């Protein structure tokens, strides 16, 4: 298979598990996360174990415009991306008024805006493929209001609604 799957937040956890699963199925990978060392280790592991091509793009996706840079890099390198997995995200736990606003806004940037940016900028590449898929990772928190996890739950409700609308 020559198509690529781009997975954000792929250096550990669910993102890494999805990358491994896709590599087992023969997908080439584009791994995006903050830790270059972890990405390099996964590149070596997946390419040697599964015989797939693995590209890495270490970046902090909470920085506005980072998704556009990754998408431009994919286009410039003519990677035939047919799967986009928007997995990167995190939650801030605690009473709303006790958590620094900057930290909460950073979480919202990553959990919502980056997903929208990736989807927007990757769609032209995805639409060139015979079949393509977008998987936006949400949470069961999307279905409930959580007093000490309110903005996280709201960000995941946004992802659920946005994805259903697509």
Catalytic residues: 152
Nearest to 62 by CA among 40, 35, 27, 90: 90
Tell me, rounded to whole angstroms, the distance of Cα 98 from its chain centroid: 28
* 147 burial via Cβ count (<10 Å: 0-12, 13-18, 19+): exposed
Helices H / strands E in the chain, number of each:
6, 5
DSSP, residue by residue, 52-89: --EEEEE--TTSTTHHHHHHHHHHHTT--EEEEEE---
Measured CA to CA, the distance from residue 95 to residue 152 in angstroms comes to 12
Q: Which residues contact 50 (CB under 8 A, 6 or more apart)?
A: 23, 24, 26
């Amino acid at each position: 298979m020559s198509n690529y799957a781009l997975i954000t937040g792929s250096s550990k956890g669910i993102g890494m598990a999805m990358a491994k699963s896709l590599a087992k199925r023969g997908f080439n990978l584009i791994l995006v996360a903050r830790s270059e060392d972890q990405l390099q280790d996964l590149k070596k592991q997946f390419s040697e174990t599964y015989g797939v091509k693995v590209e890495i793009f270490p970046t902090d996706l909470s920085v506005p415009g980072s998704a556009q840079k990754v998408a431009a890099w994919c286009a410039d390198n003519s990677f035939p991306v047919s799967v986009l997995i928007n997995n990167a995200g995190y939650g801030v736990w605690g009473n709303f008024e006790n958590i620094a606003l900057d930290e909460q806004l950073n979480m919202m940037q990553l959990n919502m805006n980056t997903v929208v940016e990736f989807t927007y900028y990757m769609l032209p590449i995805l639409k060139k493929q015979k079949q393509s898929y977008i998987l936006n990772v949400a949470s069961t928190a999307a279905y409930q209001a959580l007093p000490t996890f309110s903005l996280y739950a709201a960000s995941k409700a946004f992802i659920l609604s946005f994805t259903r609308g697509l």
